[in-house]
A = this chain, B = another copy of it.
Amino acid sequence: MKYAPKTKRGADSLNKLLDAAIAVIAEKGFNSASIGEITARAGVSHGLFYFYFKNKDELLVELVRRINKDMRHYLTTSTADLPNRVEVEKKGFEAFLEWMRRNKYLYRILIEAESNNIELYKWHYMKLAERYSERLSEAMDRNEIAKHDPEVLSFALMGIADFIAKRYVLWSDGEVPGSVIKEVSNLLDKLLSPHR
């Protein structure tokens, strides 16, 4: 992004542009989404796009940066005030499923990033894992969870959450069965409990 908006009005029109971009890219794929269609959908001028972005690639970077921030914020606030890390992980897993249910189109942006800008996609997960590993490592120091390599554990836990969300949220209609959430909760207990 070339500039950050300086006024509330500027931020609003940038948000309109980004929301329209997400909708158009989710519908048509990154390659087929045109800047003209995005600005038309947003009800902003073509020039506004080029005020903020050099091209569609820069737009994708900004979208993934925001998704990353939004996802971390959502998971952090959903698990605040829980007494220990095992509870945080279980609640965090449920919160992630809920995030996916509400934001199927944002996940589609990540899929497009994996296909069109692998470094950006990699950045998203490395950034998530970096913060995640720190939290896991602190919980290991407090003996709240079993000791493992924090980065390996963070990728294993993200992998479980991602594949369960694909199977039971993205690829299915309706609610995730309670039995699935309970099973995953049992798996997390086995992986994380310090007493096993």
Which residues on A are within 8 Å of B, measured CB to CB?
29-32, 111-112, 114-116, 122, 125-126, 129, 146, 148-149, 151-153, 155-156, 158-164, 166-167, 171, 179-180, 183-184, 186-187, 190-191, 196
Contacts and interface: CB of A to CB of B under 8 A. Distances in A.
A159 B164 contact: yes
B167 A155 contact: yes
Contacts of A152: 164, 180, 183-184, 187
16 contacts: A29-B115, A31-B32, A111-B115, A115-B115, A122-B171, A125-B166, A129-B167, A148-B183, A152-B184, A155-B160, A156-B160, A156-B184, A159-B159, A159-B161, A190-B190, A190-B196
A contacts with B: majority SS: helix
Nearest to A180: B152
B114 A149 contact: no
Contact of A191 (B159, B171, B191): B191
A95 to B, nearest CB: 17
Nearest to A159: B163
